[in-house]
Amino acid sequence: MNDLSDRDFRRILLIKPSSPGDIIHALPVLRGLRRRYPDAHIAWLIAKPYVNMLEAEPTLNEIIPFDRKHYGRIGRSWKSTTDFLQFVTSLRKRKFDLVIDLQGLFRSGFLARGTGAGARIGFRAARELAWIFYTHLVPRDETDKHAAERNFDAAALLGVDRGQPDFRIAFTHEDTTNVRDLIREHVGGDQRVIAMAPATRWETKCWPAARFGLLAAELHRASGLKSVLVGGKADRADGEIATQQAAGAAVNLCGKTSLRELAALIDRASLVVTADSTPMHLAAAHGRPLVALFGPTNPVRTGPFGRARDVVRLDLDCSPCYLRKLKQCPHNHRCMQDLSVAQVAAASIARLDGRDKS
């Protein structure tokens, strides 16, 4: 394998389709590429539901939406199969000379190879044999390492200087205005707010929704600030449960923001309280006071980057377990169930008043 650090690439594709947190952790690579190759055409292949996250990003020349749901029917649907082949053909016609696959799955590796690019970077430890599609491999690291650090390792093969990592989501003036109007409508005025995310994609990562409401009531008594429950449309029910328990101290905004608007809302929040989820990564990226609740996952790998002090978790022998479903847990979900409102409130109040700056 020849050295890449002294080559001048002109057309670059970054593959990182999902999830939102992983996309955030890949942003410093994109910005490092732009510094390293200021005149290059840089594109990002991203899953369709997350295109909104990158539409205001000034360092990108092109966003390539990937319809994972549609293409997931390859072999079962003639249209899905032919559309996928046409998609691969369209990638090849773009004549990329460098592809960086930060997803590390068979599908993403196959797409990297399908571009026909002469240089294809991926992880030696990539799953599903994806590594067979790469020309240059990021060495395997047996130690626990944050996802963002692994991405930096991939960029290092190109001589990209990580600099001061910038994970922020770029949003527009319209996004800021929409958030301001949303706060005015549901909270009143231009008040400071606490953002809480009551749901995550894994059942086991969730702190009970009702406790977010009790927490909102406690923080309102302590600080006078109201809380807004944030998340997607699928999280509305959890947001409603929390709101009902908050005794007027919280409003349910789940499903009322785009991903960029969520970033704009969190950017102005006085505090963010969440489990291992997209809002946690947004809060860390935008430098907001944060309380991150962890149970089945490892904060060293997926926690708020550079913000270990913001993690609140119980020291249990069974954690992290990486089990996704409650029915899989033999310990009655102790890692989150035994995390009390009082514990989380104490950590939250300390961050609100600035006492916890360690």
Percent pLDDT > 90 in the chain is 90
Question: Is residue 358 over pLDDT 50?
Answer: no
Binned at pLDDT 50, 70 and 90, residue 355 comes out as low
In percent, how much of the chain has pLDDT > 70? 98
pTM tops 0.75: yes
What distance in Å separates the CA atoms of residue 314 and residue 331, rounded to the nearest whole number? 13
Is residue 354 pLDDT above 90, yes or no? no
At residue 352, the pLDDT reads 93
**What mean pLDDT comes out for the span 76-95?**
95
Q: Is the pLDDT of residue 1 over 70?
A: no
What is the distance between the alpha carbons of residues 46 and 38, in angstroms, rounded to a whole number?
Answer: 22
The CA distance from 197 to 277, in Å, is: 8
Residue 83: is its pLDDT beyond 80? Answer: yes
pLDDT tens profile 93-143: 999 999 999 999 999 999 999 999 999 999 999 999 999 999 999 998 877
The tens digit of pLDDT for each residue in 334-352 reads 999 999 999 999 999 999 9
pLDDT band at 164; cut points 50, 70, 90: confident
DSSP 166-194: --PPP--HHHHHHHHHHHHHHT-TT--EE
In contact, 133 and 110? CB cutoff 8 Å = yes
Q: Burial level of 2, CB count in 10 A (0-12/13-18/19+)?
A: exposed
Task: Classify 331 as helix, strand or coil.
Answer: coil
Mean pLDDT of the 2-21 span:
93
Beta bridge partners of 74: 77
Q: Which domains does the chain have, with CATH numbers?
A: 11-156 (3.40.50.2000), 173-352 (3.40.50.2000)
Burial of 221 (0-12, 13-18, 19+ CB in 10 A): exposed
Distance between CA 9 and CA 158 in Å, rounded? 10
Residue pLDDT, tens place only, 219-276: 999 999 999 999 999 999 999 999 999 999 999 999 999 999 999 999 999 999 999 9
Quick one: pLDDT band at residue 353, thresholds 50, 70, 90? confident
Given pLDDT bands bounded at 50, 70 and 90, which one contains residue 2?
A: low
Rounded Cα gap, residues 5 and 350, in angstroms:
45
Mean per-residue pLDDT, 278-305: 96
pLDDT of residue 357: 47
